[in-house]
Chains A and B, each alone.
Chain A
Amino acid sequence: MFSENGLLPIIAILPFLGALVPGLMIRAGRNACASFTAIPTVLALVLLASLAPGVMSGTVYRAEITWLPQLQLSASFFLDGLGLLFAFMILGVGLLITLYARFYLSSKDPMGQFYTYLLLFQGAMLGIVLSDNILLLLIFWELTSLSSFLLIGYWKHLPEGRQGARMALTVTGAGGLAMIGGMLILGDIVGSYQLTDILAAGDQVKASAWYAPAVILILLGAFTKSAQFPFHFWLPHAMAAPTPVSAYLHSATMVKAGVFLMARMWPALAGTDLWFYVVASVGLVTMVLGAIIALFKDDLKALLAFSTVSHLGLLTMLLGFGTPEAAIAAVFHIINHLIFKAALFMTAGIVDHETGTRDIKRLGGLAKVMPITAAIGTVAALSMAGFPLFNGFLSKEAMLHEASHTSWWENPWIVGALATLGALFSVAYSLRFIFHVFAGPVRDDYPAKPHDPGFGMWAAPAFLCVFVIAIGVAPFLATPVVKMAAEAVTGEDLSFYLKIWHGVNTALLMSVAAIIGGVILLVAHRPLERLWAVMPRPEAKTIFDSLITATQQVMRWLTGMLHQGAISRYLAIFVAATVALGLIAFSGGAMGPATRDLTPVPPVAVVGWVLLMAAVAMVVLFHRMRFRALVVIGVIGLMISVGFVYLSAPDLALTQISVETVTILLLLLALHFLPKQSPHESGPARRAGDATLAVIAGVAVAALAYSFMMRGFSTISDYHLANSKSGGGGTNVVNVILVDFRGYDTYGEIIVLGIAGLCIFALMETLLNGPAGRKLRKAEFGPDRSRDRHPLMMVVATRVMLPIALMVGVYIFLRGHNQPGGGFVAGLIFSIALLMQYMASGFAWTTRRQRIEYHALIGFGVVIAGLTGVGSWLAGRPFLTSNFGYFEIPPIEEFELATAMLFDLGVFLCVLGAVMLMLYSLSRLARHAGETVNNEPMDYDPSRSVQASSSAEKGA
């Protein structure tokens, strides 16, 4: 049993795997390409066939691969009668189309692409009919839209192809979006996204207050996909696709997806008034309208397209009736329509291929020159018309029977009358397909010299015609299949017999009326056509195009309005919106009373606070004097560091103070090349407005922070405190969190930092090679630059401090696991130590003594940290689990070694590399701008002779 269930995912995945092959196999020739396309299809068919007996006897196969059980996301598949029928249709017709396309496509068409798209589509379609999870079904649903877009637009050089593909994608994609909403509502009502659960909960669904929106949204998806009025217009335009695509997508499979969905959801949704009036009415209108338009189309494929629209309407209407008998008729007609319509499309393709035109007005008399094609086309078209002894007759009879027994808005005859009208036009266009194409005298003005194609091309439609007649003559052959699928649709046991002769009843009379009327219409086609031509009617494509253009214009206008180029305005809107949202959130929830006491304030804290507030005020007031503002910013950073020390955050204090130093250095470097002052640009009104906004935001944030701090909270940190020493091997909990508990986050963050460094390097590279670089080379510096750019005092001082600073860095690094410190801080301290050398002796002099590239440091850092994480896999533990042990090497005291330290080394290297790379990149600007390279560490070296130094100065 298990192995049989396990086949389902394999069947579903086969076409997708197969899709990888044709693109490669086309190099081995067209036959090889087509054969390899057929292999996965055949394989899937064989596997499916092995399950068929079980399904026929009533087993429902299931397979579930759980993915995110919390969100009820799982790849679950199931196979019942309906799924089996559709899967057979998809794979079977797919195989025939593969054969047909091999001979249809010309040598100029990229066949590998075609077969890849075809298999992608086949996989998506198969996924829809096999899915048990509706979320999975939605994914496959969207995949069919996408892959059909590729197929419709396959002939990229044809504008109709591209436009048709876009239109199909827009309409079906929009419907798909609506359906996502509907499916989510449905899942929410039932409390499960498993289709089997939903189907079992039909009463619950229908009783829900959300039933109507769910039904409407899901139907929007089904109607757009199945080209129901008023969304029918995309289907004829999709006929720009190669004929194999039309035959496959637009007769057999994709357009049936909507019908399939309605049939699938039938137990859960059907049977209510809403369902009946929406589904049956839309289906009826579509059926009649499609049939009428089809009669007046001269393009063979357009005729077939509108006939498909009409037949899909018929199916929709039947499902809308909501009775088990109607469902049986629908299932039977799905099979019949598939068989004759695919054959007809292939016939149309053959005619087009051989004569060079699809225009009925230019055809006629083909029966004599293409007898085989004519025979196939005639059989299939007679079936479409609903003549007895062809399969179409049986299901059409059943449909008419159901229609005549349905009353609409207490009107017992309107449905029957309209259905007869639809059938009548159906007879007319089917006969037109036969008589205007194949009958009549042979013409001498065909664009090409027509003759029957090779066996490969007519084999597939001929094969289908065998079924047309077999089912038509001996309907009991189809009974088990119809029964199996219809029982799966309705979820009830059904007993019925399909037969040709039911006696003289209403349906037969309606059928006879339709045939007689159809013949009359065909005879009177010419005057009717003139009437049709002068009749005003809306052209769907024009409406669609103007709708799209209008949407585009509105969106462009809106984008222009919102995105008018002023970042300061966006930021103002952003701040205002954030404050407003905060206020809404605040007013919505009840805030509990303050539960904590104020912490006492020592006098020194007040001093620090005053300094900080004054510094903020000064930065704001003097922001135009950029150097001054920068210096004052340093005061703020310093005060914050001191605050961290006082408030029990030594690690933060260390980090803040070192980052502060590096940031100020960076900004100073940048300011060297930027204007030193900001001009007065905004008027007093604007400044006042901005200040108001700023004050409101500030007060809001202050209030938020205050209310946070005054209330107690529950924290998960006790876990970290409890396990820091025993699990992570360190007493500095902050560091253990960084390198162990939340090591993954830290790993991500050092990568981000590394990327930022590389990004700056890359930007600078581009900048220097662009026009800015040329400008820089010509830049002139003011005459007031310092003459003593590398002063003796500074060189000596930094030289003395270098080893001390490095030692402090190493110390901070080593103790980090147990005392404040760690890789982040150590990296920053190293950076500062190196930067001092840059400042003292100049960029070039220092770089010349550098052995390792900063890029490499970043890389080493990330790799070391990553390998440390991977190392824990070797010990059979999750990524980045740290391990530690205590060692004793005399004469040193017992000490601890932890893998976390190795990880911290990675952090250290990455921080060092990134910070240095950033500053290095900025200082390249200076060198580019004509900064001289000094060979000596300092400009004036007292240990050298006066002459030597003066000549060096001349050189500089």
Chain B
Amino acid sequence: MELLVASAVGALTAGGVYLILRLRAFTVILGLALLSYAVNIFLFSTGRLAVGKPPVLDGYTVGDFSAYTDPLPQALVLTAIVISFGMTAVLVMFALGAYLEAGDDKIDMDGPDQPDRQITATTPQDPESDGITFDFEPRERDA
């Protein structure tokens, strides 16, 4: 079982890393989701694996806790799952904002981020004029 969990963590990490190195925001978000899974499982696994020993006290006995798995990593991971949702949501918002403002969801800039770079109007178009069109995946229509 340990091998399966470890390899799953590895695969999730590898997939996540590959995806965050892509150039589009949405893919990076997917990669971060995979990485979050990996990190959460890893944290969980530091409590070691146990089958059939949930940390819910039952017939409470003092001193002997071998019947229960380690609850602490679970508590940590529980909040981590919820927080990573919050993080994903904020990132999605960034990606959406960037896409709607800039017209694409590339994550890389074209040049260095110079603080004193002159801000020049690269596209002297009327901002009102360039509406965008949302493309949908072509779908067979039945009517």
B93 adjacent to A922 (CB under 8 Å): yes
Q: How many residues of A contact B (CB 8 A)?
A: 139
A619 adjacent to B71 (CB under 8 Å): no
Which A residues touch B135, using CB under 8 A?
675-676, 782
Interface of B is mostly: helix
In the complex, A722 Cα to B62 Cα: how many Å?
Answer: 7
Residues 120-143 of B, flagged 1 when their CB comes within 8 A of A and 0 if not, give 000000011011111111110100
From the candidates B21, B23, B48, B85, name the one contacting A596 in the complex (CB within 8 A).
Answer: B48
In the complex, whether A699 has a CB less than 8 A from a CB of chain B is: yes
State the Cβ distance, A174 to closest chain B Cβ, in Å.
Answer: 23
A922 adjacent to B107 (CB under 8 Å): no
State the Cβ distance, B114 to closest chain A Cβ, in Å.
Answer: 6
State the Cβ distance, B3 to closest chain A Cβ, in Å.
Answer: 7
B18 adjacent to A646 (CB under 8 Å): no
In the complex, whether A567 has a CB less than 8 A from a CB of chain B is: yes
B97 adjacent to A767 (CB under 8 Å): yes
State the Cβ distance, B130 to closest chain A Cβ, in Å.
Answer: 7
A784 adjacent to B10 (CB under 8 Å): no
Q: Which of A38-46, A72-80, A356-364, A712-720 contacts B (4 or more CB under 8 A)?
A: A712-720
In the complex, A624 Cα to B28 Cα: how many Å?
Answer: 11
Which B residues touch A624, using CB under 8 A?
27
Per the 8 Å Cβ criterion, residues 836-890 of A in contact with B are none
Q: Which of A12-20, A191-199, A413-421, A746-754 contacts B (4 or more CB under 8 A)?
A: A746-754
From the candidates B22, B86, B101, B110, name the one contacting A772 in the complex (CB within 8 A).
Answer: B101
In the complex, whether A681 has a CB less than 8 A from a CB of chain B is: yes
Per the 8 Å Cβ criterion, residues 1-53 of B in contact with A are 1-30, 33-34, 37-38, 40-42, 44-53
Query: Nearest residue in A to B141 (C-beta to C-beta)?
Result: A784
Scoring B11, B46, B87, B104 by chain A CB atoms within 10 A of each residue's CB, the highest score goes to B11
Per the 8 Å Cβ criterion, residues 51-104 of B in contact with A are 51-58, 60, 62-63, 65, 68-72, 74-75, 77-79, 81-90, 92-97, 99-101, 104
Scoring A596, A619, A784, A828 by chain B CB atoms within 10 A of each residue's CB, the highest score goes to A619
Query: Nearest residue in A to B131 (C-beta to C-beta)?
Result: A778
B141 adjacent to A675 (CB under 8 Å): no
From the candidates B10, B18, B108, B132, name the one contacting A620 in the complex (CB within 8 A).
Answer: B18
**Count of A-B contacts with CB under 8 A?**
376
In the complex, A637 Cα to B22 Cα: how many Å?
Answer: 22
A616 adjacent to B12 (CB under 8 Å): yes
State the Cβ distance, A828 to closest chain B Cβ, in Å.
Answer: 8
In the complex, whether B119 has a CB less than 8 A from a CB of chain A is: no
Which A residues touch B127, using CB under 8 A?
771, 774-775
In the complex, A332 Cα to B34 Cα: how many Å?
Answer: 72
In the complex, A679 Cα to B47 Cα: how many Å?
Answer: 42
In the complex, whether A745 has a CB less than 8 A from a CB of chain B is: yes
Which A residues touch B22, using CB under 8 A?
568, 623, 678, 681-682, 690
Which A residues touch B11, using CB under 8 A?
612-613, 616-617, 698, 702
Residues 615-653 of A, flagged 1 when their CB comes within 8 A of B and 0 if not, give 011011001101101100100110010011011111110
Query: Nearest residue in B to A787 (C-beta to C-beta)?
Result: B143
A775 adjacent to B30 (CB under 8 Å): no
B82 adjacent to A760 (CB under 8 Å): no
In the complex, A629 Cα to B16 Cα: how many Å?
Answer: 13
From the candidates A708, A732, A760, A785, name the one contacting B46 in the complex (CB within 8 A).
Answer: A708
B34 adjacent to A565 (CB under 8 Å): no
B57 adjacent to A724 (CB under 8 Å): yes
In the complex, whether A738 has a CB less than 8 A from a CB of chain B is: yes
State the Cβ distance, A804 to closest chain B Cβ, in Å.
Answer: 24
State the Cβ distance, B98 to closest chain A Cβ, in Å.
Answer: 9
Known: A694-B15, A694-B16, A922-B92. 5 other contacts (CB 8 A): A563-B112, A652-B81, A667-B92, A670-B92, A715-B72
Q: List 19 A-B contacts (CB under 8 A).
A: A565-B110, A568-B22, A599-B1, A633-B33, A647-B1, A648-B52, A675-B105, A676-B137, A690-B21, A709-B5, A718-B65, A732-B56, A737-B75, A738-B75, A749-B79, A749-B83, A752-B86, A756-B89, A784-B136
